[in-house]
Amino acid sequence: MPRRSKLYREQFAKSGDRDKRYSVSEGVALLKTVGAVKVENKKGARPRKAFDQTVELVMHLGIDARQADQMIRGSVSLPKGIGATKKVIAFCPDELAAQAKAAGAIEAGADELVKKVTDGWSDFDVAIAHPAVMGKVGKLGRILGPQGKMPSPKSGTVTPDLAKAVTEYAAGKLEYRNDAGGNIHAVVGRLSFGVEDLQANIEAFIDHIRRLKPATSKGQYIKKVCIAATMTPSVMLDVS
């Protein structure tokens, strides 16, 4: 087993019972305590820069990820936001470009934007597409697909309501999908958030995923849930 850093080991010592599953409120409070651990730098070392750590939730689901009808994929806006904005572009008829930009898109349009992305530009987080231009956008699948940015009706990024979609995603609306192991990863806020705000986001996301249980999924659906900040060990949650 690789040697852990001093910071990790000190955090691990403060992270309570590693096998215990905490209520959401207890788990969040513990995570904030663990995340507040400070370690003195070695003599002569550069001081560590303080930063607001991202809090991520991981759910292990009782699904067969090989089956298309058991894929869990979509998008959701959390009640307290996630503490970050996103760069959004909009593929749309040129006459709708001004509307999309007014809603927060950093770039909008059809042919010129498709060419820009084809030529290698990728300085954006989310791509929204109007159905009218999907014939052109579809050609970008080999580029945007591997980046996780290809517009999709399932995630709500192919829509005629450009302004609403751009506004929501620019404000931090989440896209999610299960991986090959049946896990879903989602950013649910920042460590600076209050316990109640993080709890609200976590519970909202879990409830959202719970409602998506596939009819063909048998047995226990939500098998394991844990949260962790950027620089902390994980904390398991009891969501039964």
Q: Which CATH superfamily is domain 19-35+50-82+174-237 in?
A: Ribosomal protein L1/L10, rRNA-binding domain (3.30.190.20)
Residue 128 contacts residue 116 (beta carbons within 8 Å) = no
| Residue 3 confidence (pLDDT) above 60 | no
Binned at pLDDT 50, 70 and 90, residue 173 comes out as very high
Give me the mean pLDDT over the 15-25 stretch: 81
| Residue 4 confidence (pLDDT) above 60 | no
Q: pTM of the prediction?
A: 0.78
Which has the higher per-residue pLDDT, 6 or 18?
Answer: 18
pLDDT in tens, 128-172: 999 999 999 999 999 999 999 999 998 889 999 999 999 999 988
Which part of the chain is CATH 3.40.50.790?
Answer: 88-170
CATH class of the domain at 88-170: alpha beta
| Residue 36 confidence (pLDDT) above 90 | no
| Residue 49 confidence (pLDDT) above 80 | no
Reference 90, options 75, 74, 116, 110; nearest CA is 110
Which part of the chain is CATH 3.30.190.20?
Answer: 19-35+50-82+174-237
Residue 171 contacts residue 181 (beta carbons within 8 Å) = no
Round to whole Å and give the CA distance between 49 and 38.
Answer: 11
Sign of CA dihedral 163, 166, 167, 168: positive
Round to whole Å and give the CA distance between 216 and 28.
Answer: 33
pLDDT in tens, 201-222: 999 999 999 999 999 999 999 9
Q: Count Cβ atoms below 10 Å from residue 6 Cβ, excluding itself.
A: 11
Least confident of 32-41, 91-100, 194-203, 229-238: 32-41
